[in-house]
Amino acid sequence: MKILMVCAEFAPWAKTGGLADAVAGLSDALCASGHDVRVLLPRYAHLPAPRGTRHTVEGVGGPFRLAELEPDQKAEHAGRRRARPRVFVVDLGDLTGDAIYTGDARDAGRFLRLSAAAAAFSAAKAWRPDVLHCHDWHTALVPVFQRLPPRATARSVLTLHNVGYQGIFAASVFAEHGFAALEQVLPADARASGDTNFLRAGLRAADRVTTVSPTYADEIRLPEFGMGLEDVLDERSGDLVGILNGVDYSVWSPERDPFLPQRYDAKDLAPKRRLKKRLLGRLKLVADVDAPLVGSVSRLVAQKGIDLLAAVMPALLQDTNASFAVLGNGDPAISGELRRLADAHRTRVSFIEGYDEALAHEIFAGSDLTVVPSRYEPCGLTQMYALRYGSIPVVRATGGLADTIRHFDAATGLGNGSVFRDADPQGVSWGVRTALGWYADQDVWSQLVRNAMAADFSWPLQVPHYEELYRSLL
């Protein structure tokens, strides 16, 4: 099948979170299964200058200038050596800027351009996709653009990676950026008090809707998780399916990790211990390799519940010998709290504020526990990465976390992590302390680490679900 992926992020080219890994992983796996996959991204300023031939496609708000990114270099660098999809970028004109997201109305202009270009590209004679697969609010308007000429005949799929981000903008953004024509074909309920909700419009217009775990697919039909979209999600439940994300183990496994100075696998964990020692040194934490190291790699936003972890840290520091390594950036209130904790407990708490791909890998490899205390989690990739590195996930039972982590039972030896129910400090505290209890017993811990490292969430396992979905549309 010919599939066009339209997205704001794609690893390793443009990444702020799991969206980039998920779309790249899925696209790679579809390619490996023999499908013709192409990807369309905005031409962010940080991307290398495209070298391939440039071409122009005509459509509403166009013309759009497209160019193909030179394959491999960066992919090779990140350890990917297989056939990869062809990646095209759309010129953003004066909306080009360094960041992937500007966080203001310019984002509306950028993603309107990307979405319009995707519809135009799909309708052009050169290459007509069977499926137009868009992701999140950024490209949710692609199926709405398909309602205008030139009509792309491709069937549309909208994947929800996170309904907490909907793309709500003043209706004036359409005319401002040259897309006034789209207003005529917008689904009526995407409009409310002068604003337009991009994601709601896409949910009405797409042929099928998917999300990134079965549990999240059920949750978002309820007010607690639907974030105001539960009505349309419930109405479209017949067209909504939850397919768990996969992991690209060519990048995210300790046997092959291109970012690690030493590799390891479940048969010999001695290198993991050395990586832990190295990490403790680098972060200036107390050099006790036998004491548990609790890691967290996360965007710092309410969704992720890192504030809950911060709230219980003082008591955990007092009652246990655990140390903490937290890598993240985002909300200043949460980073401020983490910085205060790190200042007050210099040898036990390290907070690295920022985005650091290599350090993320080192933390999964060097830590014993990975805490993911999310208030909601569409899928979550870090708990799956942590499993493979033998860093035991401590997670809240929600969304994809509930679908991937099973609470360990020391009596039967079954399970792969510590799962707590409530997104509150007591929940996180219970989850971490339960895991530390297992850590204290060598035999129990070894069994748990073996279970964790044996988990297989590779993408090829998920591809048949997408193939079935695409086929059902054609």
Binding site for ligand ADP (CB under 6 A): 17-19, 21, 297-299, 327-329, 355-357, 360, 379-382
Minimum CB distance to ligand GLC, residue 213 (Å): 8
Does 373 sit behind a cis peptide bond, omega within 30 degrees of 0 on the bond before it? no
Of 232 and 381, which has the nearer Cβ to ligand ADP? 381
- Partners of 41 in beta bridges: 89
Contact partner at residue 349 from ligand GLC, ligand ADP, none, CB < 5 to 8 Å by partner kind: none
Identify which of residues 60 and 220 has a Cβ nearer to ligand ADP in the complex. Answer: 220
In the complex, the smallest distance separating the C-beta of residue 247 from ligand GLC, rounded to whole angstroms, is 11
Could you tell me the smallest distance in angstroms from the CB atom of residue 465 to ligand ADP?
A: 18
Kindly state whether residue 226 participates in binding ligand GLC, applying the rule CB under 6 A.
no
Q: Which does 328 bind (CB under 5 to 8 A by kind): ligand GLC, ligand ADP, none?
A: ligand ADP
Q: Does 22 bind ligand GLC (CB under 6 A)?
A: yes
- Backbone CA torsion sign across 137, 139, 145, 147: negative
What residues between 389 and 428 interact with ligand GLC by CB under 6 A? 400
x/- map, 162-181, ligand GLC, by CB under 6 A: x-------------------
245-274 positions binding ligand GLC, by CB under 6 A: 245
Among ligand GLC, ligand ADP, none, the one that 329 touches (CB under a kind-dependent 5 to 8 A) is ligand ADP
- In the shown chain, the binding pattern of residues 116 to 155 toward ligand GLC, with x for contact by CB under 6 A and - for none, equals ----------------------------------------
Sheet holding 392-396, edge to edge: 349-353, 323-330, 293-300, 369-372, 392-396, 418-420
Structure tokens belonging to residue 236: 């479209």
Which of positions 312-351 make contact with ligand GLC (CB under 6 A)? none
Beta bridge partners of 55: 66
**Structural element, H or E, at residue 131:** strand 131-135
Compute the distance between CA of residue 177 and CA of residue 113 in angstroms, rounded to an integer.
Answer: 8
297 binds, among ligand ADP, ligand GLC, none (CB under 5 to 8 A by kind): ligand ADP
Report the C-alpha gap between 136 and 104 in whole angstroms: 17
CB atoms within 10 A of CB 319: 11
Contacts 24+ apart (CB under 8 A), 281-288: 282/362, 283/325, 283/350, 283/352, 284/346, 284/347, 284/350, 285/323, 285/325, 285/347, 285/348, 285/349, 285/350, 286/323, 286/347, 286/348, 288/321, 288/323
DSSP conformation letters of 202-244:
HHHH-SEEEES-HHHHHHTTSHHHHTT-HHHHHHTGGGEEE--
Q: Please identify, among the stretches 12-20, 192-200, 257-265, 405-413, the one whose residues bind ligand GLC according to the rule CB under 6 A.
A: 12-20
Contact 169, 108 (CB under 8 A): yes
State yes or no: residue 215 binds ligand GLC (CB under 6 A): no
DSSP structure class, residue 179: -
Residue 245 or 416: which CB sits closer to ligand GLC?
A: 245
- What is the contact surface with ligand GLC in residues (CB under 6 A)? 17-19, 22, 161-162, 212, 245, 377-381, 400
